[in-house]
Structure formats: structure tokens, C-alpha cells
Amino acid sequence: MKFRYKPGIALPYERQGYIYFKSLSYSHMSAQERERVRSLCTTVGGEHGQALLEHVTTGESIKSVCQRHYIASPTSLYRALKRYYERFPYEL
């Protein structure tokens, strides 16, 4: 559970770090903030929204989340993660 900069996502290091650590604090968010994160995961993740939510809120590896959710290719979850980072609200 360590932050790693993702060069494939067109956001600066600081912004990616903020999103990563803010997402990990999911259990400490207000109900309204948690709903916004869940909604964003469902919107950008589609059928893999629940797996995306699990990945961003627990910090578990994409590979282990894919195995648990029976997702054959982690590429689809990586793409959803990229959209999640790009659309994460600034005011959350």
C-alpha cells in the first residue's frame, strides 16, 4: 500500500498523491463524500465499478482485486482507474 506516480495519467505528482490518499481515507469521509466516490467509481468503472471502488479505497493491487472480482484482464480496470483520476473532483 504505497503511492506510486502513474506517468500514463496526465496529472501532476501532487494531484495524483492527493487523490490516492484522499481515496484511502474513504472510511473517514462523510456519507455525502463516500456517495460521491461510489458514484464516480460506478460511472467510470461501469460493470467493474465495485472492483474499482475496492482498489482505490483499500490500496490493494489491481491484480488481486481482478482475481477476486473475476476480471480476466486488468487492462479494463487500469483504464477505469485512469478515468477515475482524471474525473476526481477538486472540491472533495
Question: Residue 91 — very low, low, confident or very high, per pLDDT cuts 50/70/90?
Answer: low
What are 6-47's pLDDT values in tens digits?
Answer: 999 999 999 999 999 999 999 999 999 999 999 999 999 999
CB atoms within 10 A of CB 88: 21
Query: In whole numbers, what is the pLDDT of the chain averaged over residues?
Result: 94
The Cα diameter of the chain in Å comes to 34
Instruction: Quote the cell numbers at residue 67.
Output: 482475481
Sign of the dihedral through C-alpha 56, 58, 63, 68: negative
Q: What's the angle, vertex CA 39, arms to CA 47 and CA 44, rounded to 5?
A: 45
Q: Would you kindly state where each structural domain of the chain is located, as residue ranges?
A: 13-87
Question: Residue 1 — very low, low, confident or very high, per pLDDT cuts 50/70/90?
Answer: low
Instruction: Quote the cell numbers at residue 80.
Output: 477505469
What are 72-89's pLDDT values in tens digits?
Answer: 999 999 999 999 999 998
pTM assigned to the model: 0.92
